Structure 1
């Protein structure tokens, strides 16, 4: 029986989460360092331009006081002087501001004149602006390269880790599917946290394998050991005089023999030594024959029938156990529906217990006041697995249990080459 785990439509893998985290960290670090470098270099460049402008203002002031003609566009109250700087200098203080002079970017410096208002001077600022722009481009380019390199290195490192985690997860799924020989063997290649998890999984798998093999050996040994005394007990019961006590003894002996045969069958299914004997059969006919053999009041509904390639003995064993379980633990009416290669067994009882819907049939476990040794559905699931078929258990919304058995068609034969 296959238990399917449904995953969300979109799941962020560890690789992508790590890549996004590394990218955000790199971007944050690059922005911080770039901002610090930009601020420092910009302040230094602007400071140098201001010093040049103030030095030129001193020279212009000296020329003005000496009566020498000042350069065009500079001197007393030049028209291109920014209004904010003009107002600031009018208060008797000296200051600087970036502006324009004859369509060029300049750094203005202005201060108060003795009698005539404001005197100002300007130096070329375009080279300083170009230096700041080049610096910003260099910071941006180096940040992109650093982020790309760090992301690439981080992705490679994280991918190696996630690949090992995926391998560990695949081995865990193989173990849960019954491949108890599967191992990760990652601890021999690395010594880190992932290797510790892989090693713990291998140890758990080995321990589980030992326990299951001991349980299987115990089950098989008990069943084999019971056969001989049960045969003798059955022969002795046949010698009892007719009467109610003899009937009770024979009935219990038959129950013990059935339990012993079930245990032997489970033991063979556990060892996966069973090989189906395939042939062509009509699935609806197999279902009808199973119902007749059960001797129960079971309704058969055939929506569509199909000839299938299967082992009729195993199919009848599966359907017989499903029908018997429906009558024993469910309620009438019990219906067997055949639709192509799918057979559905339904009843009107309380439905399957939660543990069975979650984890599948468990041997020797029944729910509530139900009586029996609880091996029927376990055998059905094992026989379905031997046929590579699917057997699922659900509860119907309107009430009652529903077991669905689907035969998987065999793979198509390869085309015969023409001579």
Structure 2
């Protein structure tokens, strides 16, 4: 039982780690950094690309203006001669110049380009085109006599430069995002430790340690310090309230139980000294009322104690639940026979759990008492214990109406008010003791297809079948 509780807590802590808010913040910081850096790069890259092409275009425009002047002064032959000289001296790599001059009939006169680009000479259009396998930036224009000229520059050097810029950006992006994540994760780790300390306090509360408090941090107080302060103040108040509750319970137990016990004893003494039958009957009724009040007080205190210790199994000893259940069933066999019922027990041996033996006895006794009270005469009662532990008690009585199944474990509620005796706290105590041991209890019909549907009460681990 305790191992299952620890496993559930370990699973909850693992789930918390997987869904860490601090880590999510670190990831968001890294993603935001990556997004901002990418946007900045796109803008810078677009500016560099524009400036690179603008500079190259300015060079081409200057070049084509000079060639136009040469053509105007020296004519076609002079232009051809100058272009050959330029091509002989031009570099073979980088921003290599590319030219072509064609006559009015479209015949190439001079140049190293193999074909005329798809650019409009009427408007001296400029643009990116191809010269073989090479990408070039070019401008075309029309000279006198129908001669057309194209002057261009290879974009290989500009593209290489932009490619290197992209690589540098990717490297910088990795470093910046990695650095941002590292810084964010470092801060997240510190935040996670501080939040973990606060969660640790609540884990201690779950284990019943109401003395645990969140530690104060050195340096300037921040939001988590304020939260820790509020948690500590709340825990101080809870501890005082619990102490007050225990004091009230102890006072009730002492101030109410003691005079009731004394009153019961005086009634016993009075019964022993009088012979009047009517007085004896009246005293017996008064004695029954006193004993009923004592039982009511005991049940309320037991319920309050069980609910206050809910889930706290650390200090509980290991109990052989199988042996405890077997002894109780042996005792109840005679009571069942007197009530005209048959009790059968099916108990798996060797079921050992951490539990309060007295409380678990009360749980099983209350379920058996309930079955004896409402079981149909001549029918069978069944008690089953399986690993888990799973405790099942069945009868063949009227059963619990569907409308009452959700309220049958409430204090003072009785499903069959006309038949019921007592204060309606037996099943409420069963639910409280079950919750104290990380168990839950539910009721269902034993025989849904019969007139007497019967009731099946099942105690099993919380969250289990």
TM-score range, shorter chain: 0.7 to 0.9
Question: Could you tell me which residue of structure 2 aligns to residue 416 of structure 1?
Answer: none
Corresponding position: 1:226 with 2:272: no
Corresponding residue number in structure 1 for 2:99: 74
**Cα contact 2:210–2:235 (8 A) shared by 1:** yes
Contact 2:329 2:345 (8 Å CA) reproduced? no
Contact 1:96 1:109 (C-alpha < 8 Å) held by counterparts: yes
Contact 1:299–1:335, Cα closer than 8 Å, also in 2: yes
| Aligned equivalent of 1:349 | 400
2:431 equivalent to 1:394: no
Q: 2:139 is paired with a residue of what secondary structure?
A: strand
Q: Find the residue that maps to 1:393 and give its secondary structure.
A: strand
Name the structure 1 match of 2:95. Answer: none
Determine the structure 2 residue equivalent to 1:83: 117
The residue aligned with 2:459 is 404
For the 8 Å contact 1:94–1:109, the answer to whether it is kept is yes
Q: Distance in 2 between matches of 1:99 and 1:212?
A: 86
> Structure 1 residue 290: deviation in Å?
5.1
Counterparts in 2 of 1:115-264, with a 5 A limit?
115-186=145-216, 191-238=221-268, 239-240=270-271, 241=274, 242=277, 243-262=280-299
> In the alignment, is the contact (CA less than 8 A) between 2:114 and 2:131 conserved in 1?
yes
Instruction: Give the Cα separation in 2 of the matches to 1:190 and 1:402.
Output: 57
Residue 78 of structure 2 is aligned to residue 37 of structure 1 = no
**Conserved 8 A contact 1:322-1:377:** no
Query: What CA distance in whole angstroms lies between the structure 2 residues aligned with 1:208 and 1:161?
Result: 26
Matched residue SS, 2:28: helix
Shift of 1:381: 4.3
Q: CA deviation at 1:354?
A: 4.9
Higher helix share: 2
Give the number of aligned pairs.
392
Residues 390, 459 of structure 2: 8 Å contact kept: yes
Gap runs ≥5 in structure 2: 88-97, 103-107
The Cα of 1:60 is off from its aligned counterpart by 2.1
Cα distance, 1:226 vs structure 2: 2.6
Q: TM-score, normalised by structure 1?
A: 0.76
3-state SS of 1:84 partner? coil
Cα–Cα, structure 1 residues 405 and 48, in superposed 2: closer, same or farther, change >3 Å?
closer
Q: 1:316 aligns with which of 339, 352, 361?
A: 361
Compared with structure 1, are the counterparts of its residues 117 and 324 closer, same or farther at alpha carbon in structure 2 (3 Å cutoff)?
A: farther
Cα gap change, 1:96 to 1:164, in 2 (>3 Å): same
Q: Which residue of 2 aligns with 1:413?
A: none
DSSP-derived class of the 2:221 partner = coil
Superposition deviation, residue 233 in structure 1:
0.9
1:222–1:246 CA distance, 2 compared to 1 (3 A): same
> Rg larger in 1 or in 2?
2
Instruction: State the partner residue of 1:374.
Output: 425
Shift of residue 237 of structure 1? 1.3
Task: Provide the rounded CA distance (Å) in 1 between the counterparts of 2:316 and 2:169.
Answer: 70
Q: Are 1:18 and 2:25 counterparts?
A: yes
The TM-score with structure 2 as length reference comes to: 0.70
